[in-house]
Structure 1
Amino acid sequence: MKSTDPLAAAAIILAILFFTFVPDSIQAVGNFAESHPYVMSFLKFAILGTLGEMVALRITSKNYNMPGFGLKPRFIVWGCIGVLIHTAFIIYATGTPNFLHVLGFAIQDNALADGNFMTRLGLAFSISALMNLLFAPLFMLAHGVVSIHIEKTGGSLHGFFSPINIGNILGEIDWKMTWGFVFKKTIPFFWIPAHTITFLLPPDLRVLFAASLGVVLGVILAFASLNSVESPA
């Protein structure tokens, strides 16, 4: 264990605790989060998502940061992911009940907050399933393209803002990993159950919980990457 490991663990815990308790305990921050939800979503994802990638890098390379990793570009990317995820939550949380109503299900107003547990569970699962089956694959692919672009441009901010050669990058993606693990396994067995829990939480905690999941998935992907190297098919 490196001497930086306890510091990294403490940073992750403090980040989660800060975003969990500060908005409720300090009125000014709480008002800011309510008035500027997209700014808070950007910050939550930027911090926790980047930490997740740093933990994944530590697992695969024994370092939390290294030349070419692109800490600043990844911070920006994860912040933008937070904005997109917040938008997707709004769209699917409000659109799914309408979709189920068209299919003939009797969904009462505010069922996600006021319904009995089984109703809330079924609605949360439906929201999560639709979001992860319709939105997540393309979103994950776009994230993968941007991550490769960061690596190919040396992790610099100047390189990050250079044009992305999407055609070439799509040809370099590990489709066996992307399809066989990320799509076929993480979506049904991780993201759909995890986001079902997300939509059972109060609205002000959903984005935080989703951002925290980025840390968990980073560790999962790191171990999957190690296994694929150690045991090639």
Structure 2
Amino acid sequence: MHPLFAIAIALLVGVAFGTLMGIIIAFFEIQAFIVTLAGMFLFRGLAYLINLDAVPISHPFITGLSDVYLPLPGRGGLTFIAMAMLVLLVIGILIARRTRFGMSVYALGGDSHSAALLGVPVKKTIIKIYALSGFYSAMSGVIFAIYTGSAYPLAAVGVELDAIAAVVIGGTLLTGGVGYVFGTFLGGMIQGIIQTLITFDGSLNSWWTKLAVGGLLLFFILLQKGIVMWVKKRSAA
């Protein structure tokens, strides 16, 4: 099977499964975290059923993508992985800030009942949110497979916690309604910088990365809570 065909199947499955999660969340009004957690376990179990071993990808098309390199001024440059990430980042920013769907998402995060009174199609928007999330999740899997040149069902286990940390560190409120796609990108970059510094230091155990990110995450959660309480106090005054 040509990799392009396999990639198309992966993206379609991601969108379809994300849409299914959105339908369950929207119509049955079940906590999104519980539904998506169950979905993650389901898909991870399916991956284990398919194969428990790492499967190398040696197709010339994948090798060609891995070799793509765009030189930049100086000694740096962009690989295909980096370029794909930047394109997806820009698309995410445009969707969040320049489309009606994006504004509806912010409205739902602020107050779903108020959003419904303002005419926002709540259920339809929720389904679209998880369909888009499914697309980005599937695309992440595709890019990771290109990066590693293999498919391994145990790859990226636990990365969902790093993703949550990146979102919070990037300035997204856990209560909803406030957040920035570019901020999440910066949150991920901060984690990467911490990991790189600890790795290059050489004298610290790699688990210090988790400790540093955990401490940073706790700090930002407390900071968010303090800001919210301060805003409410000022509003009441």
Structure 1 length as normaliser, TM-score? 0.33
Considering Cα pairs closer than 8 Å and 6+ residues apart, tell me whether 1 or 2 has the greater RCO: 1
Structure richer in strand, relative to its length: 2
Structure 2 length as normaliser, TM-score? 0.33
Based on CA coordinates, which of the two structures has the bigger radius of gyration? 2
